[in-house]
Amino acid sequence: MKSVAGKLRLELAQYRELAAFAQFGSDLDKATQQQLARGARMTELLKQGQYAPLPVEKQVLILFAVTNGFTDALPIETLGRYERELYAFVDARHPELWGEVRTKGNDKSKDAWNSLTTRMKSVLGEFGKEFAPDVQGA
């Protein structure tokens, strides 16, 4: 969780700074626009329902997805559905991932984290292929 959250904290701080700067209406380059778009997605995905906290493993997966660009191409209004369907997808097809996130996420070794990130990238890529065609028409 610390590996994912540390990157998130930095990116959100940069997003807030850029968002304040962008209010002055200056022209923004493509990289800045992408950073602003990712920050908006992060902010949207950090929202949780009242009295509906997420288990840590689900938080890790969705934060990993947004900080690693898996949601960059999605419209912001589809992110809630993306999140719900991602959890259902993992529950149905890769339930062992939740246990891996719990155990390897607490492991201090670099090999365990690298193995976990490779696994999460694979699952997120597989899910993205199924989810993205639905969003194209939205």
Asked whether the beta carbons of 36 and 12 are under 8 A apart, the reply is no
Q: What is the mean pLDDT of residues 67-75?
A: 92
Q: Which amino acid is residue 126, in one-letter code?
A: E
- The answer, as to whether pTM is greater than 0.85, is no
Segments forming the whole domain that contains residue 19? 2-136
User: What average pLDDT is seen over the chain?
Assistant: 85
CATH code for the domain of 8: 1.20.150.20
pLDDT digits 0-9 by tens, 54-63? 999 999 999 9
For the chain, the domain total comes to 1
Q: Which amino acid is residue 9, in one-letter code?
A: R
37 against 100, higher pLDDT: 100
pLDDT over 80 at 5, yes or no: no
Torsion sign over Cα 29, 35, 36, 37: positive
- Phi and psi (nearest 5°) for 28? -115, 140
Burial environment of residue 78 by CB neighbours within 10 A (0 to 12, 13 to 18, 19 or more): middle
pLDDT over 60 at 138, yes or no: no
pLDDT digits 0-9 by tens, 12-54? 787 777 777 776 656 777 888 888 888 888 888 888 888 888 9
Q: What is the pLDDT at residue 96?
A: 97
